[in-house]
Every structure is written in C-alpha cells, then in structure tokens.
Amino acid sequence: MTHLTTRGRGPRRLRRLDRRVLIAASVTALSLTASGCVVVHGERVVLPAATRAEAAKALRQFTNAYNKADNAYDGSLDAAYTTGVVGAIDAARLKAGSVNNPDGNPQHTPLVLSDVTYTIPKKAGWPRWFVADAKANKGGDARWVLVFTRGDLSERWQAAYLTLVAPGAMPDFAKDKDGWAEAVPAESAGLTRTPEALSEDYAAYLKDGGGTFADGTYTSELRTTRAKNSKKPGLVQQYIDEPLTDGAFAPLALRTKDGGALVFFSTHHYVKQTAAAGASVPTPNESVRALTTGEIKQSLTMEFVANELALDPAKGSGDGKVSLLSRLEGLTGAKGE
C-alpha cells in the first residue's frame, strides 16, 4: 500500500494565511463625554462588532463581488471580499472554471440573498465578526449562513465561513437588551469542548471515531461511507484529516440561549486514490483535472478544506456530545503521480 504523506503540501493560499488576522491591530476610537474627549482603546472596550447597516452593506458588497467573479470565472474580482475557508474554496472553484471555460461561466445565475437575519456579537478586541443567515436562490431550501470578519477598522469585511443549514435548524442566541449577541472565547472551558479544540477533535474523530460527536450525516455516516470507499477492486482510497486553526481559519463561537455555543471551525483533508498494478485511477471530473498538477499514472491525491458548524453544549448538559449542523467542503488542489 502506498502511504499518504502531507508534509510540505497544501495550496499556496493555506501557506499564506492572512497576517492581518494573525496580528490583532491596535485601534482607538474617540468618545465624547461631558468633561471632554476621552480615548477609548478598541482592543479593550466591549463594542458591537458592526452596526446593522454596516453588516447589511458588507453582505451586499460580498454578493456583488461574488456574482461578478462567478460570471467571469475571475478570482481577482472577489478575492478582497473572501478569506479563510470561503476564500480558499472560492479561489480554487474560480480557477478551475476559468481553465475549463476561459470566456466565463456559461451557466452563471446571479446569487440572490433575501430574508436576512444578522447576529452581531458585542465584544472587545480584534478580529471582529458577525453572522448573516439568509434565504438564497441556490442550494435548495437550505439557508446560507455566512460569517464576516475583519482585523481592524481600516479593513473591509470578508466572508470567512459559509455553511448551508436546514430551515429552522439554527439555535436561539443569547442577546442583551439591545439585541447584541455574545461571542464565546475560543478557550472557553464552560462548554463540552473548547471551541479551539473542535478542529483537532473532529480530525481525530474522522480517523479513529470516539464519543466526542453525536451520530449524524457528518460524523458516523461519513465514517461509514469512507470505510466502504477505502477498498474497491483494483483501487485503494486513503484519508488524512488535519486541524486548521490559524488566522482566518480560527474558530468563532456564539453563545446560545441554553448556555452552549454555536461554533464555526475549519479542517484540512487529503484523499489519495492508488490503483493496483494493471489498473487505473478513475478519471476525475473536469474541475479536478483543472486543478491537478503532475500526471495521473497510478495515484491521485486531492486536497480539500472544509468548514463545519457545531452545537457545543454547556459542560455537564444533555448527553455531553457535540452535534454537527452542517459541513461544507471544497477541493483546493490535486496532484497526479
């Protein structure tokens, strides 16, 4: 059996994480009081991440840029409005599209988002972020749930997470009297698992199983599907799953009304298909071929990133298991050997 390794591999986008998110900016705001002007440090004062008008504008700008890029299959048209998992998946999708359709997307249909609900946490420090939950004309009945982030006041808002969620599946959020939500720190110990641990937990679960996650489509059923696909006549399929937690891929969490948290987190995956002697790897589709380097002789390694949406209960509540509401995965590269 051929062994799958990942050292030194990965899309260029993953190697060049957005340092503007890695290094929190020191930004100040002025506040007028009866005694005069007082300097308030944005990294220490608890403030809403955005006004509702700012959130609506950010979603509108993203949608406009997304539609232009999708129509032209040109990643430069929306790269400034995406980051993290959304940025990595979208860049690869547009690259593949441009290779296969140099004149643009012949099946372009503009994305239209409506019935939008904004959940904006009140927090100190950077990055700041908010969630937009919208009905879309794509993806069936599923609602598009996007997270927008920015590293300081000088930056534009960028979409970092995107998941598709069944109508009515989103939890109720804890909010103050003014309607602002509560951001949960990545290291919060009051939950079944800390948000910062979920990426590593999930990667380990996909490999070995365990009791951290509740059974479902993206957990037990995914493991069952992988087991079925791991060995077929003349073909071995291997999987490697890695946590992805740095910079724009860091987890973000909102407090739910029941004391738990809704957590957005990222993961990194490889799938390697190796053909036996005398056999061949199944011919990949045109999108995979467009992103493949090297020649596919006996093996094909495909690289993916994914974002997951998890309900992380308060510690000691319920059955003590984390549930995955949604998972969206996208191909970012491939290599033939």
Rounded mean pLDDT, 96-101: 98
C-alpha to C-alpha distance for 9 and 53, rounded to whole angstroms:
41
**Angle CA 143–146–152, to nearest 5:** 165
Contacts of 286 (CB under 8 A, 6+ apart): 96, 100
pLDDT band at 41 (very low <50, low <70, confident <90, very high): very low
What is the structure's pLDDT at 109? 98
The two three-digit tokens of residue 247, written as one number: 């910079």
C-alpha to C-alpha distance for 8 and 145, rounded to whole angstroms:
32
SS3 at position 222 = helix
Q: Would you say residue 92 has pLDDT above 70? A: yes
Residue 60 lies in a domain: yes
C-alpha to C-alpha distance for 163 and 59, rounded to whole angstroms:
15
In this structure, the number of other CB atoms found within 10 A of the CB of residue 109 comes to 11
Residue 209 lies in a domain: yes
Dihedral of alpha carbons 309, 314, 319, 320, sign: positive
pLDDT band at 240 (very low <50, low <70, confident <90, very high): very high
Residue 1 lies in a domain: no
DSSP labels for 115-126?
A: EEEEE-EEESSS
What is the structure's pLDDT at 88? 98
Rounded mean pLDDT, 153-158: 96
Domain residues for the domain of 57 are 12-336
Residue 2 lies in a domain: no
Residue 45 lies in a domain: yes
What is the structure's pLDDT at 201? 98
Locate the DSSP E strands across the chain.
28-33, 36-41, 47-48, 113-119, 121-123, 128-136, 143-150, 158-165, 181-182, 231-232, 235-244, 252-255, 261-275, 292-293, 299-312, 323-336
Which neighbouring-strand residues pair with 36?
A: 33
Q: Would you say residue 297 has pLDDT above 90? A: yes
pLDDT band at 21 (very low <50, low <70, confident <90, very high): very low
Q: Which H or E run includes 28? A: strand 28-33
Q: Rounded to 10 degrees, what is the CA torsion of 256, 141, 58, 116?
A: -60
What is the structure's pLDDT at 43? 60
pLDDT band at 318 (very low <50, low <70, confident <90, very high): confident
- Integer distance in angstroms from the first to the last C-alpha of the chain? 14
How many domains are there within the chain? 1
Q: Would you say residue 205 has pLDDT above 90? A: yes
Amino acid at site 88: A
Amino acid at site 37: C
Q: Is 36 left (phi over 0), alpha (psi -120 to 50) or beta?
A: left
CB 284 within 8 A of CB 327: no
Q: Would you say residue 34 has pLDDT above 60? A: no
Contacts of 127 (CB under 8 A, 6+ apart): 21, 24, 149, 150, 151
Whole-number Cα distances in Å, 236 to 253, 282, 287, 310: 38, 11, 22, 31
Which of the 8 DSSP states describes residue 81? Answer: G
Residue 259 lies in a domain: yes
pLDDT band at 324 (very low <50, low <70, confident <90, very high): very high
What does the pLDDT look like over 161-198, one tens digit per residue?
Answer: 999 999 999 999 999 999 999 999 999 999 999 999 99
Residue 146 lies in a domain: yes
C-alpha to C-alpha distance for 153 and 51, rounded to whole angstroms:
13
Residue 280 lies in a domain: yes
The two three-digit tokens of residue 249, written as one number: 């891929």
